[in-house]
Amino acid sequence: MDTHTEYAITVNGKLMEFSTPRIMGILNLTPDSFYAVSRKETAEDIAARTEQILNEGADIIDVGAYSSRPGAEHVSAEEEMSRLRKGLGIIRSIAPDAVLSIDTFRADAAAMCVEEYGASIINDISAGQLDERMFDTIARLNVPYVMMHMQGTPSDMQQNPLYVNLRMEIMQYFAGKIQELHSRGVNDIILDPGFGFGKTVDHNYELLKHLEDFHMFGLPVLVGVSRKSMIYKPLGCTPDEALNGTTALHGIALSKGADILRVHDVKACAEAVRLFNLMNEQI
């Protein structure tokens, strides 16, 4: 059954619709992201990764300069913004019109990327929890906002995640945050259940099994499971060996209505989306 629902957000003054799922390719400007291959620090690596993401079929490039893996080192605002300026300058020199999402929880970094480099989307793992100025900043910038659920902070989120009712608590969390954003005039909101962020492996699979429930809010849903521990731990492999498992979960997420897939491996994901779309064209 096709559970995919059509939504649209305004990106750079144009509608981006989701009649077909969109692909967000990951570009990490960090030395310590959990998947080593995704780390790009030199100008040559950043340029090559930008071209790869676009050539393999991504709709959005998600640029991050602060690793949010469990136990990652703290990065100062100054260092994060320095990395972003370097990376975005290179990206814009070869892809001036690319749709860029900025993976940051800091309002100042978000504003700098939108105002100085034309970033189109802000992707906040903390849904405003780690910077109380973020919601007002998003309202002022007037850009789409990816709002993720996370229990705790990146430094402690995986120590002992506990829920009385996982799905109800996340739904209530989103309901409150959506109301806060709407009160500020922000309507282009994308929901991310936050796979791996303050959740056990079982929590993650419960969310995936019931992913379609998140469409009750009438907003696009983003899924980020690429090469995460929910894949490599049950399979007894490493992030480097988790592509096959990732693609399997992408197929499940698509069947349950995922609107955006945030991925390391754009080519494999694009192939999954093409086959998913082919199935849905059938009568």
Concerning whether 85 is annotated as a catalytic residue, the answer is no
DSSP state of 238: -
C-alpha–C-alpha distance, residues 162 and 199, integer Å:
8
DSSP 80-118: HHHHHHHHHHHHHHH-TT--EEEE-S-HHHHHHHHHHH-
Burial of 171 (0-12, 13-18, 19+ CB in 10 A): middle
Among the listed residues 49, 262, 267, 274, the single catalytic one is 262
Helix (H) or strand (E) holding 175: helix 166-183
Q: Is the dihedral of CA 87, 89, 90, 93 positive or negative?
A: positive
- Quick check: 208 and 195 in contact, CB under 8 A? yes
Number of Cβ within 10 Å of residue 283's Cβ equals 2
Helix (H/G/I), strand (E/B), else coil: 268: helix
Concerning whether 199 is annotated as a catalytic residue, the answer is no
In the numeric block, which tokens belong to residue 44? 């040559």
C-alpha–C-alpha distance, residues 23 and 266, integer Å:
7
- Return the amino acid letter for 94: I
Contacting residues for 274 by C-beta, under 8 A, at least 6 apart:
none
Tell me whether strands 260-263 and 222-223 are parallel, antiparallel or unpaired.
parallel
Among the listed residues 106, 199, 228, 256, the single catalytic one is 228
Q: Which residues are catalytic?
A: 228, 262
